A and B are shown apart, each in its own frame.
Chain A
Amino acid sequence: MRRSRHRGRRLRGLLMEALMFAAAIVVLVPLVSILFYAARQGLPGLTLEFLTSMPRPVGEPGGGMANAIAGSIVMVSLAALMAIPLGVLAAVYLSEYGETRVASAIRFGSDVLAGVPSIVVGVFVYALAVVPVRHFNGFAGSLALAVIMLPTVTRTTEAVLRLVPTSLREGALALGATRWRAILTVVIPSALPGIVTGSMLAIARAAGETAPLLFTALGNRFWSLDLTQPMASLPVQIYTYAISPYEDWHRQAWTGATVLILLVLATSIAARRYARARGALR
């Protein structure tokens, strides 16, 4: 009697564990499906021509997304140039100087900012950088991406700076370095792998963002690297092509998506690998 009850409990446990395993499979099916379709529909079109030539008018076969790829690179780089230094500086304040009330407010603020939907960031930047000059422009796009990157860079950098042992700071100060020197030449270099990882994750995320670019940089059918003009980007181009009625554009959207997935996943996988190898960021 007791034995059979025990067996019942064990069977129940096994059943639940099997259910959890099934959940893992269910969760992974869409991912595999997305990667599978992107590869099947997108890879055949992934040629050198696609990467290096301009979009053609509807009906003309061929053409590519060179302008969108270049635009994405320009806007994401500029966003990184704005967000990473600021984020690292803010993180230095939080980890090196900040046990103050201001620091908790900043920490809270950057968590809140990380949770703001990217489309809302787009609306904000529209009011800030599009309305005053009266036309969509690439700089506004970069600004929106920078706002999205900033909290990620700040919080990941703060986390890795906290991992730097206090003894290192003490050593530098004991050798006569001033505090800022100790931070710049000892603390930050020893946390660099983690900072790089956090920044790469932020870059990967920004590179895939579409919503905030729809009404800041807008997109452009032509070759333009002028930051004061509308600028094409890979995600927006994919979106435009996907919702178009043309079969050929759908194919190009898949190829564009394949390129974007490769870029974004490669960046974020590299970042995680790098972090794991250097023991940063868990």
Chain B
Amino acid sequence: MQVPPAALARRTGAGRVQAFLRSQRADGVFRWLTLAAGVLILLILLAMALGMVRAAGPSIDRTGWRFLVRAEWDPVAEEFGAAAFVVGTLASSALALVLAGPPGLGVAIWLAEVAPARLREPVSFLVELLAAAPSVVYGLWGIFVLAPWLRDHVQVPLSEHLGFVPLFSGPPLGVGLMAGGVVLAIMIVPTITAVSREVLRAVPDSLREGALAMGSTRWEMIRLVLLPAARPGIMGAIILGLGRALGETMAVTMVIGNRAEIPRSLLSPAQTMASVIANEFAEAVGDVHLAALVEVGLVLFGVTLLVGIGARVLIWSVTRGRSLGGGVL
């Protein structure tokens, strides 16, 4: 007996699938699917925060808020305080900002306003390469090239001539807070440059034209009109760099010297929140040690979160939501 195609399709179910795929319901399912993928991102963040609070529990119960201000870190006696790492993180990041901020901003202004078109592309490209190189490679270079160079050409003269200044006291080891700060500076320059450049580009041309029409030179236009207009965004770029520096791990771990003490000078070995986790996590002895390391991670998570949100708010106020930095971010 001849079965009409439509009936056949109905009987086998193929037609129903076809009809479903053409229907409004399929649309609803697809929309729901994409929404689920998006919500998953939020769930990951939530799970991260909650999971870490739970895993840090034993340490939080034991030490409480004093965890942040106590400087002892003694896995054998199970006494844990993160103050040395907090100080190490803040000091190395501050050093990185001081070293990377001015050149990074300078390059950004140069790329946005001054550079001849011929140089603009290749320099932007090279700066982007800096951003793409893996952290562990910076660390390798830091150990074998930067640290010896700093020791011989910066720290030895410093301690000879300025050793009486507390900031420059101590034996010139090469590895230590200074090397950590310099490596961080190199690693955050691309962030500062790329974001500042975008922020500067977002300043309307009418402002530039106005300043030039009033007879200012290009530099005066930049200094008196452009930079003030872009100031919040540039602050944002620098704070975004700070966020990167706070969380950067491998390169710092490899050059900072890894000593769980509050550093006394730029030359002394130190430890950051990220580096202590990298160093000790896989070999943590005992539950409290592990929980304390997770708590360090939690503090780091919280700090980078606040810093990152602050930076984005500032950048947003200048660029009004234009997307930033061709993939660097």
Contact = CB atoms under 8 A, between A and B. Distances in A.
Contacts of B282: 136, 214-215, 218
7 contacts: A13-B218, A24-B115, A116-B247, A243-B143, A257-B136, A268-B128, A282-B326
B33 A197 contact: no
B327 interface: yes
Contacts of A239: 136, 139, 250, 254
Interface in B2-26: 21-24, 26
Interface string A115-130: 1111111111011100
Tell me which of B34, B130, B193, B249 has the highest count of chain A C-beta atoms within 10 A of its own C-beta: B34
Interface in A100-132: 102-103, 105-106, 109-124, 126-128, 131
Interface stretch (B66-74, B79-87, B99-107, B166-174): B99-107
Contact of A28 (B42, B123, B329): B123
Given A86-B40, A265-B133, A102 B305 contact: no
Given A20-B114, A37-B141, A179 B30 contact: yes
Interface string A252-278: 011001001100110011011001000
Given A31-B130, A34-B137, A238-B140, A150 B250 contact: no
Nearest to A263: B134
B52 interface: yes
B164 interface: no
Interface of B: 21-24, 26-27, 29-31, 33-42, 44-45, 47-48, 51-52, 54-55, 102-104, 106-107, 109-111, 114-115, 123, 125-130, 132-141, 143-145, 186, 189, 193, 217-220, 222-223, 243, 246-250, 254, 274, 277-278, 281-282, 293-294, 297, 300-301, 304-305, 308-309, 312, 323, 326-327, 329
Chain A interface size, as a band, is: 35 or more
Contact of A180 (B30, B111, B220): B30
A216 to B, nearest CB: 9
A21 interface: yes
B137 A97 contact: no
Contact of B123 (A24, A235, A261): A24
Nearest to B109: A20
Interface string A75-99: 0000000000111011011101110
Nearest to B243: A115
A90 B48 contact: no
B134 to A, nearest CB: 3
Dominant SS among interface residues on chain A: helix
Contact of B249 (A115, A118, A127, A242): A118
A106 B126 contact: no
B299 to A, nearest CB: 10
A10 B31 contact: no
B138 A120 contact: no
A120 B297 contact: yes
A98 B38 contact: yes
Residue from the set B33, B130, B327 with the largest chain A CB neighbour count within 10 Å: B327
A9 interface: yes
Contacts of B293: 123
Interface stretch (A45-53, A57-65, A204-212, A220-228): A204-212
Contacts of A257: 136-137, 140
Contact of A93 (B35, B323, B326): B35
A131 B274 CA distance: 20
Chain B interface main SS type:
helix
B247 A117 contact: yes
B128 A272 contact: yes
A26 B138 CA distance: 16
Interface string A13-34: 1001101111110111011011
A150 B128 CA distance: 21
A93 B41 CA distance: 12
Highest count of chain A CB atoms <10 Å: which of B36, B45, B136, B309: B136
Contacts of A136: 282
Chain B CB within 10 Å, residue with most, of A115, A215, A271: A115
A268 B127 CA distance: 13
A73 to B, nearest CB: 15
Contact of B281 (A22, A86, A126, A253): A126
A232 interface: no
Contacts of B278: 119, 211, 214
Given A13-B219, A90-B34, A116-B301, A127 B42 contact: no
Contacts of A214: 278, 281-282
Contacts of B193: 27
A86 B141 CA distance: 36
A209 B125 CA distance: 21
A93 B37 contact: yes
B281 A123 contact: yes
A270 to B, nearest CB: 12
A156 interface: yes
Contact of A147 (B44, B130, B137, B323): B44
A16 B27 contact: no
Given A89-B33, A119-B247, A178-B27, A208 B38 contact: no
A271 B125 CA distance: 13
A69 to B, nearest CB: 14
Nearest to A176: B22
B254 A119 contact: no
Contact of B38 (A13, A22, A103): A103
Given A17-B219, A86-B37, A281-B327, A127 B52 contact: yes
B113 to A, nearest CB: 9
